[in-house]
Amino acid sequence: MTALVYTLGVVLFLSGLLASIALHEVGHMWPAKKFGVKVTQYFVGFGKTIWSVRRGDTEYGVKAFPLGGFIRMAGMLPPAKDGGGGSGGRANSGGFFTRMIADARAAEASETNATPEARHFYRQAWWKKVIVMSGGPMMNVVLAVLLLTGVFMGIGIKAPTLTVSQVSDCVIPASEGARACRVAPDADPDPLSPAREAGFRAGDTIVSLDGEAVSSWDAFSTAIRDKAGQQIDVVVERGGQTTTLTPTPLVSERPDLEDPTTFVQVGFLGITPDETRQRQDAGYVVATFGDYTKRTGEALLHMPERMAGVSKAALGIEERDPESPMSVVGASRVAGEVASDERIDVTDRWVALLTLLGIVNLFVALFNFIPLLPLDGGHIAGALYEAARRGIARLRGRPDPGYADVAKMLPVAYTVAMVLIVAGVILIWADIVSPIRLTG
């Protein structure tokens, strides 16, 4: 049964990912067609074609390796300025890059010569190019917003309440993880928890702290962290009556609220709150989405150094950092583990899977906005450069410099593509030999 549920989790995640890829390409194709650009192909996947059908100008289909998708538009590359095949018209002379650009122009020309120039992508106004190339990643942003909104506002998330669920028997430093309490006559017994010593019980509901009403668990917990070594008065509701308890929080090693991977010495009481599922408002969605966006952007900035760590893990040199990037293989494995973990209730499994898919869509969007070809951001940067160059020429009364020749950036595009392929292979291998596991 567990294997079946694991497989179901993987299939559901991959299905959601394929749908996201397909919609990403729709985000490019729809505005392109609206602007009159001829879209010759729309495919999900790469490699050998498994199935395809032609509707009007466009061939729609699925290819063997579902690792992405693409649309092909007529006239992605403008012709050389002098009408020749290469960068400067020398198709059979010049260096390696000159011949590379010439071959790319020739290959595209053979497919699009029969298409009126007005329907070529390069002939479109710069703002139309920006809309077409932004459409894909913006579709991923929309999907991420819809998925996370559905989770936070529709299903709800578990949030701590002011009701006590458990009372710790002792104080154990957070860096030592989960272990049993050491008690006398051990040589170094753990101290009794202040909550246990003060008489807290499961089911108590916290009412006030030092005479101030408490509105949330987060506010209560933050206050306790600042009161190490100070006796406090905590009023709790118990069995319909209020009781005042007077614990003294001990100094203990706890995760930093700003950076949970580091530990700080703060006040510790020793109670765990009960949790209930609560639907959040739009403000929570906006704040959380902003936080996810910030963290995803930071992850992209640190991608090169993190890939170095992944490479070492793939070679068995060091342990895999749980914060390191994953491939589709790794994300699918996590989805399967979450789906089959019987310690997690069914609703929480759905929350985890939908949140994972939302975060993946957000990552895909931000990654594609990187201003390098062959990513969408590279084409957007080319269109903005074209707009700036033409605008400056107009202001200075100079002739129109024409369309930006993105073909000259093909060497960069091929280099970036090669780097991405190598990085993808390393990630997949690391996810096989040294996977990240989110469940124990």
Average pLDDT over the chain reads: 88
* Residue 119, domain member (yes or no): no
- Per the model's pLDDT, the better-predicted residue between 180 and 11 turns out to be 11
pLDDT digits (tens, 9 = 90+) for 334-367: 999 998 888 888 899 999 999 999 999 999 999 9
Last residue within a domain, chosen from 247, 278, 309: 278
pLDDT-based confidence at residue 189 (cuts at 50, 70, 90): confident
Last residue within a domain, chosen from 219, 245, 278: 278
* Residue 322, domain member (yes or no): yes
- Dist CA 367 CA 361 (whole Å): 10
- Do 384 and 271 share a structural domain? no
Mean pLDDT of 33-39: 95
- pLDDT the model gives residue 351: 93
- Dist CA 373 CA 407 (whole Å): 10
Range of the structural domain that residue 303 is part of: 125-156+279-440
* Residue 91, domain member (yes or no): no
Assess contact for 208 and 214: CB atoms under 8 A.
yes
- Do 292 and 393 share a structural domain? yes
- Do 355 and 256 share a structural domain? no
Q: pTM of this prediction?
A: 0.84
* DSSP letter, residue 188: S
- Do 330 and 395 share a structural domain? yes
Number of structural domains in the chain: 2
- Per the model's pLDDT, the better-predicted residue between 113 and 388 turns out to be 388
User: How many residues comprise the chain?
Assistant: 440
pLDDT digits (tens, 9 = 90+) for 56-88: 999 999 999 887 899 999 988 888 776 544 444
Does residue 242 have a pLDDT over 80?
Answer: yes
The DSSP line for 189-243 is PPPBPHHHHHT--TT-EEEEETTEEP--HHHHHHHHHT-TT----EEEEETTEEE
Q: Residue 170 belongs to a domain with what CATH number?
A: 2.30.42.10
- Residues forming the active site: 25
Assess contact for 13 and 147: CB atoms under 8 A.
no
- Do 287 and 218 share a structural domain? no
pLDDT digits (tens, 9 = 90+) for 82-138: 654 444 444 444 566 677 777 777 777 776 777 888 899 999 999 999 999 999 999
pLDDT-based confidence at residue 389 (cuts at 50, 70, 90): very high
